[in-house]
Amino acid sequence: MAGAPQWVLQRRAHAEEQVESRGLPQPHWEAWRGCDLGALTPSRLTSVAAPALASSVAPAAARGAGAVTDPSSDPLRGPIGLLPAPLCDAASARLLFVDGRLTSPVEASEWPPGVTVSVLSGVGAADAHDTTATTAAVTTAAAPEGSAAVASDQAASLWQGDGWAASHLGAHAKADELPLAALNLARTREVVVIHVAAGIEVAEPLLIGSYCSAAAAGQAVYPRVLLCAEPGSRIGVIEWCSGAAASDYLHIPVYELAIDRGARVEWTRLSEEGEVGRQFATLRATVQADGELALHSHLDGGAQVRADLGVVLAGSNAGADLSGLVLGKDASYLDHHTAIWHCAAETYSRQLFKGVLDESACGLFDGASHVAEQAQRIQAEQQCRNLLLSDTAQARMVPRLEIYADDVRCSHGATSGELDEQAIFYMRARGIDAAVARLLLTEAFAEGAIAAGPCAVAAAYQRQQLRRFLPGGEAL
């Protein structure tokens, strides 16, 4: 299968039109109020020109991560080692974008039975603005065993105009509504589609990484992933975003999750951007009846990171558990914008976001729960807690409830404060150093958010990263 399907090209053209007609986010737009938009300038939104592979990324050994597969089997395995080793080791399969391009071909043998992965690559490779590219190619892989016949059929129909990629690409993160999703669709170089067949349960998580190298400095990177979980399926994904320390790249990933009836998706975002890197991520999920999304977002590092997480609960008894942890220091600006749309009766959403903010970091949580008139007997809970470790750290919290139904249970709470001096004294009076007492209490605070995430592997990694984040934490 060669050449991008016509419908993809049309959607990209439409997205580009949206970018040109609506423009970039403006500070007076409600969703972007208070957000520093200085980095979103046309000159910086140019897509990185060349794929950055092994030659332009740090070797794995230098970061201590360790490659997970035999480098000799594939010349492109080197960059895979950029992925954190503990996550790599636990994942059932891995994908890594470097500067918006996949670093290794999709191999059928890697994917769990019932999971089909397809990549539309080379779209607009010559020029990020060229939406009429003809160099696109699709590669598809599905597990060869067990479900080969089904997978083969799916591969053939995947990119057809009436296939599920066409049904969902751009249908959740809509170009008409989200300017950065439009920008991403117009300029992404590769689109990854992951399909989980009905009833399939994948025990180990998939790992999808996106890394911005030094070559991306001053430019933008647009990875895009679409996940379709068919009825009754279950899958976990760890999504990791990072970049080179001194590279002032702009990372604009978009993730769309289509969760069908009774399916469960456990999605863990781990954002660990380079110290001057910036990220504006968009995730949009639609959950059908009896489906569930467990979504966890960990923001650690980067000059500016905004994770825009939106969930539509479209069918009755659909649910979303959102949680997150923000670790901010220096002058970083770390922002969770969440929105849950309760569109059906007896849906539920639970949100717990925590922030540990040190030095001059600023953490923002803006959480909205929208309840439609027909969405009776829903439950929506939202909690945001922040711990300020310095006098100059800031926490801003904006809970929003928009309720049109009359039989609902909605609650929200937002707090920020310092460590409990009584608890510190109690611990010191038992012989524990003041510094250790502070560390233990900070860890205990963060643990509530970490434990709320759906993935044990990611949680263990978060605990490790938390100790690196806290001064003196590694000595514990």
Partner 1 sequence: MLRIEDLHASVAETPILKGVQLSIGPGEVHAIMGPNGSGKSTLSKVLAGDESYTVESGRVDFEGQNLFEMPPEERARAGLFLGFQYPVEIPGVNNSYFLKAALNAARAARGEPEIDPVSFLKRVRERAQWVGLDDSLLKRPVNAGFSGGEKKRNEIFHLAVLEPRLAILDETDSGLDIDALRAVADGVNRMRDPQRSFLLITHYQRLLSYIEPDYVHVMVRGQIVRSGGKELAAELERSGYAAFEDEEAA
CA angle 81, 223, 69 (to 5 degrees): 20
Give the pairing of strands 115-121 and 137-142.
antiparallel
Q: Does 441 bind partner 1 (CB under 8 A)?
A: yes
Among 428, 456, 468, 475, binds partner 1 (CB under 8 A): 428
CA angle 203, 233, 230 (to 5 degrees): 140
By beta-carbon proximity to partner 1, the closer residue of 149 and 429 is 429
Residues 287-346 that bind partner 1 (CB under 8 A): none
In whole angstroms, how close is the CB of 300 to partner 1 at the nearest point?
19
- 35 neighbors 25 (Cβ within 8 angstroms): yes
Query: Which residue, among 452, 261, 428, has the nearest Cα to 354 in the 3D structure?
Result: 452
By beta-carbon proximity to partner 1, the closer residue of 104 and 465 is 465
Among 20, 201, 433, 474, binds partner 1 (CB under 8 A): 433
Q: Does 469 bind partner 1 (CB under 8 A)?
A: no
Query: Which residue, among 247, 251, 252, 248, has the nearest Cα to 214 in the 3D structure?
Result: 247
How many angstroms separate the CA atoms of 99 and 249, rounded?
9
How many angstroms separate the CA atoms of 227 and 203, rounded?
16
Q: Does 445 bind partner 1 (CB under 8 A)?
A: yes
Element (H, E) at 416: strand 408-417
Site string for partner 1, 77-116 (x = CB under 8 A): ----------------------------------------
One DSSP character per residue, 285-318 reads: EEE-TT-EEEEEEEEE--SEEEEEEEEEE-STT-
Element (H, E) at 227: strand 224-229
Query: Which residue, among 160, 183, 158, has the nearest Cα to 170 in the 3D structure?
Result: 183
Q: Does 475 bind partner 1 (CB under 8 A)?
A: no
**Residue 306, token pair as written in the block:** 């905004």
Give phi and psi for 179, each to the nearest 5: -60, -35
- 369 neighbors 384 (Cβ within 8 angstroms): no
Q: Does 430 bind partner 1 (CB under 8 A)?
A: yes
Q: Does 448 bind partner 1 (CB under 8 A)?
A: yes
By beta-carbon proximity to partner 1, the closer residue of 405 and 441 is 441
**Local structure of residue 28 (DSSP, 8 states):** T
Residues 391-420 that bind partner 1 (CB under 8 A): 420
By beta-carbon proximity to partner 1, the closer residue of 404 and 425 is 425
By beta-carbon proximity to partner 1, the closer residue of 95 and 470 is 470
In whole angstroms, how close is the CB of 348 to partner 1 at the nearest point?
25
Instruction: State whether residue 14 is helix, strand or coil.
Output: helix
Q: Does 353 bind partner 1 (CB under 8 A)?
A: no
In whole angstroms, how close is the CB of 396 to partner 1 at the nearest point?
24
In whole angstroms, how close is the CB of 418 to partner 1 at the nearest point?
15
By beta-carbon proximity to partner 1, the closer residue of 3 and 448 is 448
In whole angstroms, how close is the CB of 442 to partner 1 at the nearest point?
10
By beta-carbon proximity to partner 1, the closer residue of 245 and 444 is 444
5: left (phi over 0), alpha (psi -120 to 50) or beta: beta
Among 50, 246, 434, 456, binds partner 1 (CB under 8 A): 434
By beta-carbon proximity to partner 1, the closer residue of 345 and 427 is 427
Site string for partner 1, 142-161 (x = CB under 8 A): --------------------
**Residue 195, token pair as written in the block:** 């399909």
Q: Does 460 bind partner 1 (CB under 8 A)?
A: no
How many angstroms separate the CA atoms of 440 and 76, rounded?
42
In whole angstroms, how close is the CB of 147 to partner 1 at the nearest point?
43
Interface contacts to partner 1, rule CB under 8 A: 420, 422-423, 425-434, 436, 440-441, 443-445, 447-448
